[in-house]
Amino acid sequence: MIRISAIMLGLSLAGITAAHAVDTAKLAIQEELPVGRATGDYPAPPGWDKLPEGEFGEKIIRGYNYFVNTQALAPEFVGNGLNCVNCHMDGGKKENAAPLWAAYMSYPAYRKKNNRINSYEERIQGCFLYSMNGTPPEHMSPVLVDLSAYAYWLAQGTLTGEQFNPAEMAIPGDEDLLKGGKRDDFPFTQGYLNAGGSADFKTPGRGYPKLPEPEQAPDIARGKQVYKQECAVCHGANGEGQKVNNRYVFPPLWGPDTYNWGAGMQRVNTAAYFIHQNMPLGQPEKLTEQQAWDVAMFLDTHERPQDPRNHGSLEETVEKFHGGYSQYGKEVNGSVLGTASYPNHPNKP
Ligand code: HEC
Ligand code: HEC
């Protein structure tokens, strides 16, 4: 399959304000995704030459721009220095970096823990609340609609493959667009159906592929060595990232301006999976699996913004939402993680 690299399309649009209406309790659980191991065989997302014409094409471009330039285009929903693309690499297209084409077709998703169904929109709102340490845009807000249009197009194009003809892609209403593609009435393209595609498909490359349990327990001191050697050159000696003209060119990994204690990336295992496939930048699987676990442990035993679900009791928040590989609430170097956390949605300087 052909891969056509993305071109930058300039376009700007202000988001909308007022976001208190989001029921964040619904977004409470950042569960691990049910993903497998890396396999080496992945479909290719569509290039910009497959952009549909007209209004829907513009929605897609705006969604792409929100995704890669969240700071500038949707600042009212963002409380840190990150952009979506920092963790969903290559504009959300790269396999094994939680690509949007696989994500879109995995919602609505049933969540056992809170016995409810999460839409694609709610999953994005979750990333605004935790990964972006922000205030999620409310239901149906243009930012969410545009982000969903971008993911919908990537999903349709990726499923259909080289036969993809954007002119024959159905254009859903906003309400449907926000649900995600895993629904009985999803309008598959004729090209996909002709090629034998069905509603029963797999999404290889989804999420960050699991690593086996580490041989040795992840170790902060070893992780620190890996960090110094492989990461500090870009992310800074203290995980603070690097700015040019007041914008991060290398995103921060801990401290006040990065993902908070409710984000998926604060789980050491999720960070290890991400790092093994995606870091150091452009060198997938450079680190051994053990090194990925160790450096993930090092990152995620530093203070960051508070878990927004913490309403005063650290113990209760740990009990309800943490556990497994989360280090929140654990004592490291004489201080308990989560007791000196930074604010949520801090005002931007
Ligand atoms: C700090 C890293 C980070 C940032 C920034 C981030 N995300 Fe995520 N995102 C994650 C992680 C981690 C997961 C869950 C992966 C897991 O648990 O395996 C996730 C999951 C998702 C999913 C669901 C993926 C799937 O396959 O089910 C979507 C959609 C998503 N994010 C969209 C966004 C959008 C839109 C933004 C920007 C508003 C954003 N993310 C910003 C880390 C991030
Ligand atoms: C050559 C520079 C470079 C090196 C070296 C590097 N990174 Fe990154 N890292 C980046 C860039 C750039 C991004 C954002 C990617 C994007 O936007 O496409 C990033 C993103 C990340 C993220 C997700 C975003 C965030 O702020 O949390 C994590 C976690 C991360 N890197 C960890 C590491 C670790 C651990 C190492 C060392 C093993 C490392 N990086 C080495 C450049 C680098």
* Per-residue pLDDT reduced to its tens digit, 233-283: 999 999 999 999 999 999 999 999 999 999 999 999 999 999 999 999 999
- pLDDT more than 70, % of the chain: 91
Which among 273, 105, 110 is positioned nearest to 202, based on CA atoms? 105
CA-closest residue to ligand 2 atom 33: 279
The residue written with tokens 């913004």 in the block is: 305
Q: Give the model's pLDDT for residue 181.
A: 97
Q: Give the model's pLDDT for residue 20.
A: 45
32 — pLDDT class (breaks 50, 70, 90): confident
Domain ranges (residues) in the chain: 24-194, 220-336
Q: Which ligand has the nearest atom to the CA of 279?
A: 2
pLDDT at 113 over 60: yes
Which among 344, 252, 264 is positioned nearest to 302, based on CA atoms? 252
CB 22 within 8 A of CB 148: no
- Pairwise CA distance, residues 1 & 71, whole Å: 33
pLDDT at 126 over 70: yes
Ligand 1 surroundings by CB, under 6 angstroms: 32-33, 70, 82, 84, 86-88, 98, 100, 102-103, 106, 123-124, 127-128, 131-132, 147, 206-208, 259, 263-265, 270
CA of 91 from ligand 1 middle (Å) equals 12
Ligand 2 near 314 CB (within 6 A): no
Q: What is the pTM of this model?
A: 0.93
Q: Give the model's pLDDT for residue 15.
A: 34
- Pairwise CA distance, residues 36 & 50, whole Å: 30
DSSP conformational letter for 117? E
Burial class (CB in 10 A: 0-12, 13-18, 19+), 126: buried
Is the sign of the CA dihedral 329, 335, 339, 340 positive or negative? negative
- Pairwise CA distance, residues 51 & 284, whole Å: 29
> Superfamily assignment of 24-194 in CATH?
Cytochrome c-like domain (1.10.760.10)
Query: 220-336: same fold as 24-194?
Result: yes
Ligand 2 near 233 CB (within 6 A): yes
pLDDT digits (tens, 9 = 90+) for 60-74: 999 999 999 999 999
Q: Please, where are the H alpha helices in 31-127?
A: 55-68, 70-73, 89-92, 100-104, 120-126
CA-closest residue to ligand 1 atom 42: 87
CA angle 163, 164, 167 (to 5 degrees): 130
**Paired tokens of 212:** 């086996």
Ligand 2 near 252 CB (within 6 A): yes
**CATH number at 220-336:** 1.10.760.10
Q: Which atom of ligand 2 is nearest to the CA of 83?
A: 17
Q: Which atom of ligand 2 is nearest to the CA of 286?
A: 38
pLDDT at 19 over 50: no
Range 129-134 average pLDDT: 97
Pairing of strands 109-111, 116-118: antiparallel
**Paired tokens of 278:** 């995606």
CB 161 within 8 A of CB 1: yes
Amino acid at 68: V
Range 157-171 average pLDDT: 96
CA of 235 from ligand 2 middle (Å) equals 7
CA-closest residue to ligand 2 atom 31: 279
Ligand 2 near 231 CB (within 6 A): yes
Contact partners, residue 151, CB within 8 Å, separation at least 6: 63, 92, 100, 101, 103, 104, 120
347 — pLDDT class (breaks 50, 70, 90): low
pLDDT digits (tens, 9 = 90+) for 165-213: 999 999 999 999 999 999 999 999 999 999 999 999 999 999 999 999 9
Q: Give the model's pLDDT for residue 14.
A: 33
pLDDT at 2 over 80: no
Q: Which of 71, 117, 125, 131 to mutate to test the pocket of ligand 1 (most atoms within 8 A of CB)?
A: 131
Q: Which atom of ligand 1 is nearest to the CA of 263?
A: 12
pLDDT digits (tens, 9 = 90+) for 293-326: 999 999 999 999 999 999 999 999 999 999 999 9
CA of 49 from ligand 1 middle (Å) equals 26
